[in-house]
Each structure stands twice: as structure tokens, then as C-alpha cells.
Amino acid sequence: MNDPKTPKLAIEVAYATPTKQKIIVLHVDVGCTAFDAAVQSGIAAEFDDVDLTAAKMGIFGKSVKPKEYELRAGDRVEIYRPLVADPKAARKARAEKSRQAADS
């Protein structure tokens, strides 16, 4: 993958926690997948909680299959953290709280 004759793509790999964010700029071979770029970036060494084999990933907010999506120049691979709460349950709890506040 490190053949100097192979055309390279400039991409970014990003991960964030509530207290720390990191964006790593990489030049990868044409045909590199989102997963491969995440591994090559070394970002997992920066964060204790990153499991690249299980993490969901996306490109500019759109979910992709990391081992299938071939990167394009300028793509930003975003590594997503697992959800802390189920979004449906959280919405339901907020609605119930608003309802109770309105009844008071």
C-alpha cells in the first residue's frame, strides 16, 4: 500500500469524546476503505475506548459500511461512539417531563 507510484488521496479521520477531539490528515492509496484509513491513522492509540472493529463509521455524517466504502479525495472518516441512551426512550422521557411541567 505504500508504493510511491500509486496515486494518493488526501482524507481525514475524526473521533471525538465530550472532552477530546482529534482529526488526523492522511494520504491514502486509491481504493483504501474507511476502515483501512481509520487503522492507518493510529487514532485508536489516542483514545482508550475506540474499537475500530466494532465502531460504526460515516463520511460527513452519512453512515457507511467501513470495510466496503472506498474513500474519495477530501472524505472525512468519522468514527462514532456507541449511544449512551436509546434515542426513542430519551425523546419519550423528555416528552413526559414536558407534559408533567405543563400540568403543574
Q: Which amino acid belongs to residue 42?
A: G
Residue 2 lies in a domain: no
pLDDT per residue of the chain (104 residues) written in tens, 0 to 9: 556 677 899 999 999 998 999 999 999 999 999 999 999 999 999 998 899 999 999 999 999 999 999 999 999 999 998 876 677 877 888 888 888 888 77
Residue 3 lies in a domain: no
Alpha-carbon gap, residue 88 to 93, rounded angstroms: 9
**Count of domains for the chain:** 1
pTM of the model: 0.75
Closest of 80, 4, 69, 5 to residue 37, by C-alpha: 69
Q: Which residue range is the domain that position 30 belongs to?
A: 8-103
Residues in CB range of 80: below 8 A, 6 or more apart: 55, 56, 57, 58
Alpha-carbon gap, residue 71 to 37, rounded angstroms: 9
